[in-house]
Amino acid sequence: MKKFLTLGLMLLLLSGCSGNWGWYVVDPTTSSGWTNLKFMAFGAYYTILISVTSILISVVLGLLIALPGLSEKRGWRMFNRTYVEIVRSVPILVLILWVYYGLPTVSGITLSVFWSGVLALALSDSAFQAEIFRAGIQSIGRGQYEAAQSVSLNYRDTMRYIILPQAIRRILPALGNQLVYMLKMSSLVSVIGLQELTRRANELVVSEYRPLEIYSVLVLQYLFLILIVSAGVRWFERRLKASDT
């Protein structure tokens, strides 16, 4: 929060350095500036919604993709490796465009702008989530599996009650980083028309012709969201550590 306030103060100070700067377009003390700020702020709804929806889907999908990578059977491991390598090799922007414009042609399935963005972001992130889960599960000592076998737990119950709770605690910082990453990458969905933060900023630039001032506010909006998410993840980590003790 202190970083956010400091950056905001710096921008306000810089606004007086040149008469060519038009900070009036985002000045909350004027009617037009306040209207512009509200127009941009309302885009945060879709930014948060698409980011949270995508990360939830990618976490579930990533876990399902990670489990075959832990199998003793070579075919399952090859499936995991092939999926991860192919999906994370495709740029997110390209995947968004393909899902929105290409998927209807290939499959006849037409998705809305929102769900096209969710699908593309979730697919792209699932490959990284799979590697995070695989590393977290593999970090659990062999003794935990042997202890589960000694009390006759099957594979599903071993994962559910013994392995995954410990693995999630270890990979929580990485999962938090992926949520931050998703918040930033959601800006790419603006290219297909989703009315999130970046799209609204672009539309305002077209009408006001003040890219510096408007995009500066956009930077502050993303910074504010990401600082909140980062603080939330750290708080959750502390709660988990406290519960362990």
Class of domain 48-194: mainly alpha
Confirm if 127 and 87 have CB atoms less than 8 A apart.
yes
Confirm if 55 and 129 have CB atoms less than 8 A apart.
no
Mean pLDDT of 122-130: 95
CB atoms within 10 A of CB 202: 16
| Distance (Å, whole) CA 132 – CA 154 | 24
Residue 111 region, left (φ>0) first, then alpha (ψ -120 to 50), else beta? Answer: beta
User: pLDDT digits over 25-57, tens only?
Assistant: 888 888 988 999 999 999 999 999 999 999 999
| Distance (Å, whole) CA 174 – CA 185 | 16
Say whether 73 sits in a helix, a strand or coil. coil
Q: Residue 242's pLDDT band (boundaries 50, 70, 90)?
A: confident
| Distance (Å, whole) CA 182 – CA 237 | 20
Tell me the whole-structure pTM to 2 decimals.
Answer: 0.86
User: pLDDT digits over 65-98, tens only?
Assistant: 999 998 888 999 999 999 999 999 999 999 999 9
CB atoms within 10 A of CB 54: 27
In the predicted model, is pLDDT for residue 1 greater than 80?
A: no
Domains of the chain, by residue range, sit at 48-194
CB atoms within 10 A of CB 186: 28
Query: What sign has the CA pseudo-torsion 196, 45, 231, 136?
Result: negative
Q: Residue 11's pLDDT band (boundaries 50, 70, 90)?
A: low
Task: Name which of 1-15, 54-68, 219-233 the model is least confident about.
Answer: 1-15
Q: What is the b/e burial string over 3-21, where b = at least 16 CB atoms within 10 angstroms of the residue's CB?
A: ebeeeeeebeeebeeeeee
What one-character DSSP code corresponds to residue 150?
H
